[in-house]
Amino acid sequence: MTISKKKPAIVTAAMPASLRAAVAPYEWARGSVGESDAAVYRLQGKDGAPDLFLKQGKDAIAADIADEMARLRWLAQYLPVPAVVQFACVAGPDQAWLLMTALPGTTAAEVLEANPALGPAVVDALAAFLRRLHALPVSDCPFNAGHAVRLAQARQRIDAGLVDAEDFDAGREGWTAEQVWAALQDCLPLVPDLAVTHGDFSLENILMQEGAVVGCIDVGRAGVADCYQDLAIVWRALGELDAALQQRFAQQYGILDIDQGKLQFHLLLDELF
């Protein structure tokens, strides 16, 4: 990653003074965390100071960043997630900045890319972590991420022209967003198996170190939802590598018969985000 010692003016210009002071000693590198639409920067500390990440965005993205901040603070009681160092927002136009700690480790995607032979061990670690997440107390979680909420958000995205049809999975190449929407309606009604979910349980959002999961990132969609919200995302990712990894994951997670209908619904829904 190339380091730029010049802080991006567009990011720092409207920052509240306290946040501007907090990031002043750091060198900046433009990077990416998960698949967020926010601008993401890794702030590299000097003299042994720990690295930080900064997410910044405007308007709807600012609202997403605020959502992630709230979820990080709640999840920190239970799971290794980035700690919120500072959060700031200003109005007119809405802007938000989320400064958080950098977690150790390498993404599960990078681990598997570097050494595909580690697939079974990575799958076992992912399944154990997802069981831990899904065992969190649903009654204590203040965030509703259920399919009704997500469908309403998806409809808004379609109407606003925000869906990238060119990024659809290969099986839906050439589809329109409206065709995906229609296919979703054919999957309803859905009877959810409720759990506290990550919302985007992809290999890029899970960090590993020495064979164990040491944290998760990009939790802006976390909340109570059908557990297949997470299962579908990781199922698709593992299937792109080896179908045997899918079966191992299901067994390690504790599912004897995977619900293909729910997988289909949540993968269709994910196309619209």
Q: Write the single-letter amino acid at 77.
A: Q
- 190 found inside a domain: yes
* Residues contacting 269, CB < 8 A, separation 6+: 147, 150, 151, 154, 184
In a domain, 164, yes or no: yes
- Helix 147-159 with 260-271: angle, nearest 10 deg: 30
Q: Are residues 37 and 133 in the same domain?
A: no
CA pair distance 176, 44, nearest whole angstrom:
42
Identify whether residues 120 and 237 lie together within a single domain.
yes
Q: pLDDT grade, residue 32 (50/70/90)?
A: low
Residues 137, 17: Cα–Cα separation, whole Å:
38
**Is there a single domain that holds both residue 206 and residue 134?**
yes
Residue 262 lies in a domain: yes
Q: Is residue 203 part of a domain?
A: yes
Residues in contact with 26: Cβ distance below 8 Å, sequence separation at least 6, in sequence order: 43, 44, 45, 46, 49, 52
CA atoms within 13 A on the CB side of 13: 6
Q: Is 150 domain-assigned?
A: yes
In the structure, what pLDDT confidence band is assigned to residue 198 with cuts at 50, 70 and 90? Answer: very high
Q: Domain limits at 42?
A: 9-101
Q: Which residues are bridge partners to 213 per DSSP?
A: 208
Q: pLDDT by residue (tens digit) across 49-67?
A: 899 999 999 988 999 999 9
- Confidence at residue 4, expressed as pLDDT on a 0 to 100 scale: 44
Distance separating alpha carbons of residues 266 and 160, to the nearest angstrom: 21
The enclosing domain of 74 has a CATH number of: 3.30.200.20
Buried b (16+ CB within 10 A) or exposed e, 62-86: bebbbbbbbbbebbeeebbbbebbb
Q: How far apart are CA 235 and CA 190, in angstroms?
A: 19
pLDDT at 191: 96
Q: How confident is the model over 66-78, as pLDDT tens digits?
A: 999 999 999 999 9
Q: Are residues 51 and 133 in the same domain?
A: no
pLDDT, tens digit, 9 for 90 and up, residues 239-250: 999 999 999 999
Residues 138 and 243 in one domain: yes
Q: Is the CB of residue 207 less than 8 Å from the CB of residue 105?
A: yes
Residue 9 pLDDT class (50, 70, 90 cuts): low
Catalytic positions are: 200
Count CB neighbours of 225 within 10 A.
Answer: 28
- Cα 85 to its chain centre, rounded Å, is 19
* Inside any domain, residue 84: yes
In this prediction, residue 143 carries a pLDDT of 98
Q: What is the pLDDT of residue 7?
A: 61
Q: What pLDDT score was predicted for residue 38? A: 86
Residue carrying the six token digits 């993401």: 40
Residue with tokens 């599912």: 255
Q: Tell me if 3 is assigned to some domain.
A: no
132 domain-assigned: yes
The domain boundary residue, chosen from 77, 101, 125: 101
Question: What CA–CA distance (Å, rounded) separates 103 from 193?
Answer: 30
Q: Are residues 249 and 140 in the same domain?
A: yes
pLDDT of res. 8: 64
* Same domain (yes/no): 39, 55: yes
Structure token pair of residue 101: 């700690």
Phi and psi at residue 178, to the nearest 5°: -65, -35
Entry pTM: 0.91
Confidence check: pLDDT of 197 > 90: yes
DSSP per residue, 119-143: HHHHHHHHHHHHHHHHTS-GGG---
Number of domains in the chain: 2
Q: What separation in angstroms does the CA of 112 have from each of 29, 214, 247, 266? A: 25, 16, 17, 24
230 and 113 fall within a common domain: yes
